[in-house]
Homo-oligomer: A and B are copies of this chain.
C-alpha cells in the first residue's frame, strides 16, 4: 500500500508521553521533502527513505515533488509512482521505498517540511524559488544537489546562494562522483556535503544520505564543493577532445590534472574561503574522474573532435543525448565571460581554450597546445599560490 499525506506510520506511538517531564519539549521530528523526481532525484529519495525509517529524528515519510506528466499509458506519473513505488519514467526497475510519497503539487509537497532537498535541472530553480517564497517554514533547512550555476559577468550565482537568498533559509550542497543509476543498484560510491558554518546541520544531512554503499562526508566549504560540481563539466569537454584526437591516457591525465588545477584556482579567486583540501574530496577529484571517463560532456566532445569541429555541439547533442542537455559547453562560455570580464583569461589557458574550441575559433587539437599558452602566473603577483 502506498503511503498518503495523511496516514503515514508513526514511530513509537506507544511511548507514554507522561514519561517526559513537562519542561523538556519533545524534539520535533524532521520532515523531508525532495523537490525533483528525475533520475538523481529519485535515487536521492530512495537513499533518504531508507534512512528515515531507521532514524528516530525523522518522520518516516519522504515526500517527492513530481513535475506532473501524463505517461503514454494515459496515467499520471505521480500516480504510477505511488502505485508501483517506482519512478517508471526516470528510474525504472528500482523500488524507492514504501515511505516515499509522490506529490504533484509543489505547495503540498513542501508543506511542513523542515528539510528540503533540491534536485531539479538548474534552469528551473529560479522559477521554483519564486513559487516557494512564503510557502515554506522559516526554520526549514535546504540542501542543493543541483550541478550548474547562473553565471553573470560579476561572477557566478551559485544555486545554494539563490535558494538561500530567495527563500531566506540556510542551504548546504551535496556533490560527488554520483552516477545515479550506479547508486540506484547500490554500487559503492561517495559524496561530499558542503556547509557554510553550521556543522550540526551538515551532520544531519550526512545522516540522512549516508548508507553502507554511499559514504558521505562534510566539509566546511559550500562554494568549493558547489563549484567542483559545475566546473568539472568544462574539464570533461577537454578530456573528450583528447579522446577524440586519440592522444592516449597520458595526455588525458595531464589535461585532467591541469583542469583540476584551474578548477581550484578559479574557485579560490572567486571565493577566498575555498579550501585546497576540498578538491581531494569526492566532489573534487573523484567526480572529475567519473565525469572524464564516462559522462555526456566527454562523449559529445569526443565526437566533436573526431569530426574536426565541423559538426556543432548543438547538432551532436540533439543526435547523441536524446533530449538531455550538455552543461559543459554553456558552463565554458559562462566561465569565459567571468574570466574575460575580470582580465583573468591568461591565467586559465585550459578553460579559455575549451571555450575557443567549442565556439569554433580554435581547432580541437589546440587543447594539447597548452604549453604555448601556459598560465601567466606573474599576473597574480603575490597570490600565485592559488595554483
Report A's interface with B, CB cutoff 8 A.
Answer: 177-179, 182-183, 187-190, 212-213, 215, 247-258, 260-261, 264, 276-277, 279-282, 285-287, 289-290, 293-294, 368-372, 374
Contacts and interface: CB of A to CB of B under 8 A. Distances in A.
Nearest to A289: B253
Contact of A250 (B177, B261, B277, B280): B177
B215 A371 contact: yes
Contacts of A189: 250-251, 254
Contact of A177 (B178, B254, B277): B254
A99 to B, nearest CB: 23
Nearest to A277: B276
Interface of A is mostly: helix
B249 A294 contact: yes
Contact of A178 (B250, B255, B260, B290): B250
18 contacts: A177-B253, A177-B254, A177-B257, A178-B250, A183-B250, A187-B247, A188-B251, A190-B258, A212-B372, A253-B289, A253-B293, A254-B286, A256-B285, A257-B280, A257-B281, A257-B289, A276-B276, A293-B293
A179 B250 contact: yes
Contacts of A256: 285-286, 289
B212 A371 contact: yes
A368 to B, nearest CB: 4
A189 B250 CA distance: 6
